[in-house]
Amino acid sequence: MGSMEPLRIPRILLAVAAIVVVCAPIKPQAAPDVSADQPRVKEIRAVERPMPFPPDAAGHANSIEFRTADKMTEKDQNLVADAESSISEHAGHMDLEFNQGKWGYQQVVCPALPNHLFLRFTRNNGVGDVSVFSASIPRDGEGRVRIIPILLRGYSLFSPAPINALTISAFNHIRAEEHPDTAPDWLGTGLCYAALAGGHPQAAFLAGVPENPKFATAMPAVLEIPNRGGAVIRFTDVAASPRPMEWTMTFNGKGRLLKATHSPASLIPIKDEGPQAVDLKGKPIPPTYSIPSAAPVP
């Protein structure tokens, strides 16, 4: 066998291979990630708190007016007459004995809920035998008559009306039927609930001290806006007997009443700082008072 000759590659092929190597594209190097060294900024949006009662929507009234039947407008008297059969029917479903004995009524004037006519029905058979309920009549016909039981022969039919789930439910339905164009008065709304639940509420004002400083004063009405939204209305009914009562009503962001509480109020004693002084012209200077402690008055 003869010896093998070395493999010879034509020069033209070597030249082509060299050109391919030289002309191969060079991938660009990735730019350094400078953002890795910079802190990331997270956009934080302000959380909007839904407020069913804007803080500046409070009115000036601090009590609810009760109007006798003969003082009602003719329009409202006609509305009561038209709703009488419906009131009787719904009160009968509640076993309120509306068809027994002599019942009288007063109008509960609630400016915060203008699209409803409210009535307080009472039958008084003597001490310990008093029956009471509230009735709501829609003025525009959109809605229905609603009954809120308060007392039957001196006793609550269910749990006390101020904290009763039926009272809260009826109140929410009434407010849903209102369709208000503007935000309602928060204090007026709270006072109206208290009146429909059986009270004759009168809230303490923000300013002023009792004419007789020996008396204790109640904390003023306040509107609290929780961080999550909604509202908490607090006020002291200084007209309640035998002692002032504190009301607290909690609403969600859509204005639905979630909870109501009703308990004896803690009062703050007022201390007179001394006799009344006069200025250089002999004009009396208003007296000053101080609150020595926040301890409840027994």
CA nearest neighbour of 64 among 233, 201, 237, 162: 201
Laid out side by side, the sheet with 245-251 consists of 222-224, 231-237, 245-251, 257-264
What integer is the mean pLDDT of 249-266? Answer: 94
pLDDT tens sequence across 155-174: 988 889 999 999 999 999 99
Q: What percentage of the chain reaches a pLDDT higher than 90?
A: 53
pLDDT tens sequence across 122-168: 999 998 899 999 999 999 888 999 999 999 999 988 889 999 999 99
What integer is the mean pLDDT of 53-71? Answer: 83
Flag the least confident range among 35-39, 63-67, 192-196, 201-205.
35-39
Structure confidence at residue 21 as a pLDDT band (50, 70, 90):
very low
What integer is the mean pLDDT of 3-10? Answer: 48
Residue-level pLDDT at 283: 64
Instruction: Quote the CA–CA distance of 178 and 172 in Å, as a whole number.
Output: 10
Q: What ranges do the domains of the chain cover?
A: 58-271
**Which residues, in sequence order, are CB contacts of 24 under 8 Å at separation 6+?**
none
